[in-house]
Amino acid sequence: MDVYTKGESMARVSKLPSSILGRMGDTMCTPCRQESYGIYVARSHAWFQYSVSALDTGKGCYKEIWDQWGNETKQLFYAYSCFTFGEVDLVPTVEEYTALLRCPRFQVDKIYSRAANVPTFWKKLMTITGMSKQWITARIKEKGECKCISWDALKGLILTHPDETKKVDVFALSLYGLMVFPRALGYVDEATTDLFHRLSKKVTFVPAILAETFRSLGTCRKAGVGRVICWVFFEDYSPLKDIVASTKRVDVPEENWIALLQNLQSKDVEWRAPWMIPGEILYRCGNFDWVPLLGIWGAIGYAPLLVLRQFGLRQFVPATHGLTQSEFAYRGADYKKRVGEISSTWNKTCRLKGVVISPATTPEYVEWRGRRINDNISEPSVEGARSMEEYLQVMPSELEIVKQEFERKNLELEKRIAKLEEEKMYLSLDINVQKMEVEKERKEKRKIEEDRDDLKEHYKKAQEKKFQEMQSRNLALEEENEGLKSKVTELGRSLRWHRSLDYKLETQEDYLKGELHQSRGQVKERDHVMGEAITQIREVAEYVQDLVVRANVLSLMCGLSSDIGQELALLLDRVKTLGIRVKAYL
């Protein structure tokens, strides 16, 4: 049996008729201003069927389209793995939805929030489908307060679009709009398109799914009737094989189910899903004592601490003040501000990690829960209470009993035969595998032995080659060593010759230095003598010049007629000639 609680984690989801869910209340309050908001659904030995009309409308078409695609196209769709639920049952909580969806692109705390300024509907559809503005605007319809596009138009794109990636994107958008977030029957809503458009930014849509589930439950509670937006497994994908194969009690009267749920006992509940790995629990965001959730049409809050037993922890009185006032729709003047505040609180998440124990409650919680008031469901009738088996009991005829017994034994035999055949198949597979492994080991052994022999031969050749190379190298080194020795001897002789030559040069240098000093002395003496001679020559030159002057005077005084005068003139000419020659020394 499962507990499905708005404001809490749930172990599993049971599929109930909407008429039952619509009459189940979920508002509780206490005098100490602690408020909670939940709806309880239990599953015993029966298997219930619940369907949404939009889901039934598209299921067959989706399967036909999926079967027509090749493996390459299907591989493109695996990016939207939020519809591959694995081997678990569906439970609307953040932790369990995250585990169910198993989408590696998600960032756990990066939630979807409706932006203040978003692209228009046709622009988002252009980006997703790759079609023109004219094609899209011609197919956009008005359904109440929202704009949407029909499934027929999207189906045509899926079947005829030339781009495989766009085809898969349109297919995924249809799943989101018709199954995950149904608004108008057969149409994909604008808000769903906005969420799908934001998935490329790695936002997680888990809070959006939970928000719309809880908001629809609240609407059903307030109206008394309605359709709940919820998500369940198809039987083909359910991991609960035994439950699917068991007899479904569809003939149990609705009144029995209502009475059963009204008289539900704690011992009838399987609190924690066996497939859920214990881990951290998100229990509050920012200044809220609970977790606010942003959907695609509105926002709401839920308190995971309300049913800690579903996580295998001890249950205490949770803090849920203000939870019933957390719901609002995306209408009015201030909703954008509230959306921004809630989005910012997800940047400050708090998680709880506890030790798994047997589900238990504190005395304070028992007292607190006993004072809560449910305004839609009458108090349990203690006097008329019966066991769960009595509520689910249907009196069959004798023929039906024999038929059921025969079917039960037949089913047991079929299961046993199938099990034996499976064991036989596994044994044959094991034998074949063992034979293959033995043969493989033999081949590997032979290969190893061959490789070992090859390695030995290679090693031997390598050693011989290395030995020969070492010998050749040693001989070359010895020859080189002899050459170096002779060169050293020659260099020693050359060194001694150069040393003797240096000694001779040094001796000759000393001798030349002495000769140079002596020559310098002689040069100095010659310079002194020449200086004195030049001085005397200059004195003689000056004297000759004086004689020239006197000769000129005498030549003027004496005539040339006499012999003495001629001789004197000749003498004067010689004196003048000498005067001209001595000018060089002046």
Query: What rounded mean pLDDT belongs to the chain?
Result: 71
* One-letter identity of residue 516: L
- pLDDT tens-digit map of 339-351: 888 888 888 888 8
Name the DSSP letter for residue 2: -
Region at 312 (left for phi over 0; alpha for psi -120 to 50; beta for the rest):
left
* % of the chain exceeding 70 in pLDDT: 66
Residue 581 has pLDDT above 80, yes or no: no
Cβ(78)–Cβ(262) below 8 Å: no
Cβ contacts of 492 within 8 Å, gap of 6 or more: none
Whole-number pLDDT of residue 428: 85
Residue 191 has pLDDT above 60, yes or no: yes
Cβ(43)–Cβ(257) below 8 Å: no
pLDDT band for 564, please (50, 70, 90 cuts): low
d(CA 514, CA 516): 5
Whole-number pLDDT of residue 4: 32
Least reliable range by pLDDT among 64-73, 104-113, 294-303, 358-367: 64-73
- Strand runs (DSSP E) across 44-107, as ranges? none
Instruction: Pick the more confident residue, 306 or 221.
Output: 306
pLDDT band for 334, please (50, 70, 90 cuts): confident
- pLDDT tens-digit map of 425-477: 888 888 888 888 899 899 999 999 998 888 888 889 988 989 999 999 999 99
78 backbone dihedrals φ, ψ, rounded to 5°: -65, -15
Q: What share of the chain is helix, strand, coil (3-state, %, to 5)?
A: 60, 10, 35
Whole-number pLDDT of residue 417: 92
